[in-house]
Structure 1
Amino acid sequence: MINIILADDHKLVQNGIKLLLQEDPSLHVVAEASSGTEVLQLLETHTETDVVLTDIMMPGMDGLTLQNEMAVKFPSVKVIFLSMYNEIKQISTAMKNGASGYLLKDADHQELLFCINFAVNGGVYVSSRITTNLLSVLDAYTHPQEINIIAEQLTEREMQVLQLIAEGLTNMEIADKLFLSKRTIEGHRQELLKKTGAKNTVMLIRAAVVQRLV
């Protein structure tokens, strides 16, 4: 069971996200908050929390300030941002400070679930909707080393999946396009990260673009 605190100052948005999360029996929303201050208070009592899924712009203490406070007081809890802002300054700051994920609010249900599970297992996930002109900056923060993708080590199917990831498709969209299951695509994504040594999707796509594989 993955225990989640959900933070968003818009109640309708918060309720919608909660309903999506409740569709997965492995996820449990233990509490809800409308500011960073409330999240910190909830973490004091909900010690079982694994993930804080939070907006950036909230009244009082915002998401980025919350992230900094959590790094000191609750370092084992993962922070995933779910925001409408696709701005380089906010995204790069979040990733530099150790966020486990950054999703845009137009992410689909399947991408949200994948991000949460990936983060809990030690990964770092950035929304496939993040534009490619941010990749070099984000990569510098998430992992400064370059990777070398050896195309010959990838299967034809993995190359197809890599191309579609680079085009910004979600796992579900890739699955539909290739007539495969979402779980199969998730497996291919994990295998791509493993084979290339990339720590996250941003690093993987950037290397693929630089090496002209996509």
Structure 2
Amino acid sequence: MIKIILAEDHLVVRNGIKLLLESQAEFAVIGEASSGEEVLTLLENGVVPNILMTDIRMDEMDGLELIDRLTIQYPDIKVIVLSMLNNIQYVIEAFDKGALGYLVKNVGYDELLFCIQHVSKGGRFLCEEISMQLLDKLQDLPSMSYQLKELMEEIDLTERELEVLELIGEGMTNLQIADKLFLSKRTVEGYRQNLLDKTKSKNTASLIKYAVKNSLIS
């Protein structure tokens, strides 16, 4: 049984999500909140979930501040953001603070369920809409600029590593990248570590932030 707390300040939306989740035998919504403060109160009273699904924009304490607090005080709780905000900067900040999933509110039912199941097992998930938005931006870019080539030479980044970086930016796991590029999972893990080392990034979220800031991905 996957125990879930829903943090959403619109009651109608929250009730709709709750009905969808509770139609599945493996999910149990054990708590509801309209702000980050209410979530912390639930936790302090012993209502501790496996998954927290939270909006970003909420009164008193928003979702990003809540993720910050949970990472420190309740690191075992896995956080999925469910928001209308599809700006890549919010996505990066949410993952940087410790979220493991990011969904937009018009996400399909099957994708919602898969995300919860995947995150509950320790995976990370980025919804299709945002992944495709990233891909569209990449496809719209002109051929590699001189500045990009210069940066790649400066940090000794190979074409294959850039390809892996783009797929990481789409939210793919090592196994998904391995399948897509016809590589072994161990090889992809090596590329990911090389990227972290070459960009001096401490984790994947920092790597993506570096890549966006330096126009390696957009």
TM-score computed with the length of structure 1 as normaliser: 0.65
Q: 1:90 to 1:47 in 2, by over 3 A?
A: same
Instruction: State the alpha-carbon separation in 1 of the partners of residues 181 and 95 from structure 2.
Output: 31
Question: Is 2:2 aligned against 1:2?
Answer: yes
2:74 partner letter: F
1:193 CA displacement: 7.8
Is the Cα–Cα contact under 8 Å of residues 8 and 35 in structure 2 kept in the other structure? Answer: yes
Matching of residues 81-160 of structure 1 within 5 Å: 81-130=81-130, 131-133=133-135, 139=168, 149=178, 153=182
Matching of residues 1-214 of structure 1 within 5 Å: 1-130=1-130, 131-133=133-135, 139=168, 149=178, 153=182
Aligned to 2:161: none
1:108 CA displacement: 1.0
- Higher mean C-alpha displacement, 112-121 vs 39-48: 39-48
Structure 2, gaps ≥5 residues long: 139-164, 193-203, 209-218
Aligned residues: 162
1:56 CA displacement: 0.4
Instruction: State the alpha-carbon separation in 2 of the partners of residues 75 and 15 from structure 1.
Output: 27
Is the Cα–Cα contact under 8 Å of residues 83 and 105 in structure 1 kept in the other structure? Answer: yes
CA-atom RMSD in angstroms: 3.5
2:27 partner letter: L
Instruction: State the alpha-carbon separation in 2 of the partners of residues 112 and 151 from structure 1.
Output: 23
Residue 13 of structure 2 aligns to a residue whose secondary structure is helix
Instruction: State the alpha-carbon separation in 2 of the partners of residues 94 and 37 from structure 1.
Output: 18
Instruction: State the alpha-carbon separation in 2 of the partners of residues 35 and 6 from structure 1.
Output: 10
Residue 129 of structure 1 aligns to a residue whose secondary structure is helix
Structure 1, gaps ≥5 residues long: 155-191, 204-214
Instruction: State the alpha-carbon separation in 2 of the partners of residues 72 and 152 from structure 1.
Output: 36
1:109 partner letter: Y
Per-residue CA deviations over 1:155-212 (Å, capped at 9, x if unaligned) read xxxxxxxxxxxxxxxxxxxxxxxxxxxxxxxxxxxxx989966999xx9xxxxxxxxx
Is the Cα–Cα contact under 8 Å of residues 83 and 105 in structure 2 kept in the other structure? Answer: yes
Aligned to 1:170: none
TM-score computed with the length of structure 2 as normaliser: 0.64
Is the Cα–Cα contact under 8 Å of residues 92 and 141 in structure 1 kept in the other structure? Answer: no
1:46 CA displacement: 3.4
1:112 partner letter: L
Is the Cα–Cα contact under 8 Å of residues 31 and 47 in structure 2 kept in the other structure? Answer: no
Instruction: State the alpha-carbon separation in 2 of the partners of residues 68 and 108 from structure 1.
Output: 28
Instruction: State the alpha-carbon separation in 1 of the partners of residues 112 and 97 from structure 2.
Output: 21
